[in-house]
Structure 1
Amino acid sequence: MALISCPECGKEVSDRAPACIHCGYPLSSAAPYADFRPITGPNRFTVRLTARPAYPDARSRTLRALMKELGLSREQGIRLLEQARREPVPLREGLTEEEALALLEVFRRAGAPVQLVDGAVPEPPQLPSPVPGDALTFTSVVFATLTALVIWSLLSLLFTSLFG
């Protein structure tokens, strides 16, 4: 790891840092795509299942399409649908554009949320997915607000009685 001088503030920072730790100046604007290697040639397309279909009838049609188009067993198809709940799953890679569009149409007709990915184009950086149960609910916000008001009242009462 080498140290470089920040062009904005002049202080030393790591050459691997995306931004200066002192002033926040961005040091590498190409950082999100630095390790992207484009896939060239006609067989650069991928079809991905981006989520599990929301409705039971769409799930069953998608499962039948997985079994027919990809040759998966029922158990493999169910596992793939469960995996798609957590992250996008590639259905088939190395396709020509025509093959990819045809497969995409089959799964869209089945009601599956699918996506066509061109290997020659970098994908934008993805935000991390939220952890289930980690978000604040309405009840927890109301409880936190009421707790803060009670603490404020108690502190006011304490300071009034001590320094009153």
Structure 2
Amino acid sequence: MKKTHDKPLAQNRKASHDYHIEDTIEAGIELRGTEIKSIRRGSANLKDAYARVYRGEMYVYNMHIAPYEEGNRYNHDPLRTRKLLLKRKEIDKLQGQVQEAGYALIPLKLYIKNGFCKVLLGVGRGKKKYDKREDLKRKQMKRDVDRALKDRMQ
């Protein structure tokens, strides 16, 4: 029996700050041997990563996976383009959504599920500066209310 856990090994925390995430989809990722070992160690970074359709297939760009220390000559290029494993219908649907103005495909999480590495992709629309400020105000107000309720309950 394979072990299942969805604990994220890498997260793109900045994505929810910079984009309105409207839809998500889970995709497999094609990796080399030393890449999966490095990911299991937690040496992956999704900060500047994005996904794009190229010649009918989905790829993720700028996803940094640190070289595996014990990998010697079998190590990989840390920023290489990696293929995402999706069905044709899913790729066509995502491509249609992204062709609208202002939308982008952003990797949100990298995790292991049933022994396979998965990427959670989000279809996001870029936020304007005033949207970001409003979100920060809303988050601060919620924090203040929660703090006040906690003090009141004690």
Q: If the length of structure 2 is used for normalisation, what is the TM-score? A: 0.23
Higher RCO, 1 vs 2 (CA within 8 Å, ≥6 residues apart):
2
Q: Which has the higher helix share?
A: 1
User: For the pair shown, which has the larger CA radius of gyration, 1 or 2?
Assistant: 1
Q: If the length of structure 1 is used for normalisation, what is the TM-score? A: 0.22
